[in-house]
Structure 1
Amino acid sequence: MSCHTECNSIGAFDLFLLNDGEKKITEKPFAGMSNTSDFIIMKEDHTVGNLLAEHFKQHPHVMMAGYKVAHPNVPELLIRLQTDGTATPREIFVEVCKQLVASLGQLAQNFTREYELRRMATAGEQDSNGPNGRP
Structure 2
Amino acid sequence: MNAPNRYELYVIEEGETPVEVIEDTKIPNAATIKILKQDHTLGNMLRAQLLTMPQVLFAGYKVPHPLHPYFILKIQTDGTITPDLVLSEACNQLIGTLSTLESKFKREFSFKEADGGPGAASAAGGAFATSDDPYGTGAGTGGGAGWGNRDDYLDF
TM-score category (smaller protein): 0.7 to 0.9
Q: Which residues of structure 1 form unaligned runs of 5+?
A: 127-135
1:111 corresponds in structure 2 to 105
- 1:17 matches 2:17: no
| C-alpha distance in structure 2 between counterparts of 1:16 and 1:32, whole Å | 32
1:90 to 84, 92, 95: 84
1:99 to 76, 93, 100: 93
| C-alpha distance in structure 1 between counterparts of 2:96 and 2:30, whole Å | 26
Over 3 Å off, 4+ runs: none
- 1:71 matches 2:56: no
> What do you get for the CA RMSD once the two structures are aligned?
1.9
Q: Number of aligned pairs? A: 120
2:36 to 27, 34, 42: 42
Q: TM-score, normalised by structure 2?
A: 0.72
Aligned-pair CA distance for 1:28: 0.7
Q: TM-score, normalised by structure 1?
A: 0.82
2:143 corresponds in structure 1 to none
Which amino acid counterpart does residue 102 of structure 2 have in structure 1?
A
What do the CA deviations read for 1:46-97 (whole angstroms, capped 9, x no partner)?
A: 1111111121111101111111101000011100000000000011101111
Name the SS for the 2:9 alignment partner: coil
Name the SS for the 2:38 alignment partner: coil
2:55 to 58, 61, 64: 61
Q: Percent identity?
A: 33
State the structure with more CA Rg.
2
Structure number with greater CO (CA < 8 Å, separation at least 6) is 1
1:32 corresponds in structure 2 to 26
Q: Which residues of structure 2 form unaligned runs of 5+?
A: 122-156
| C-alpha distance in structure 2 between counterparts of 1:58 and 1:113, whole Å | 27
**Which structure shows the higher helix fraction?**
1
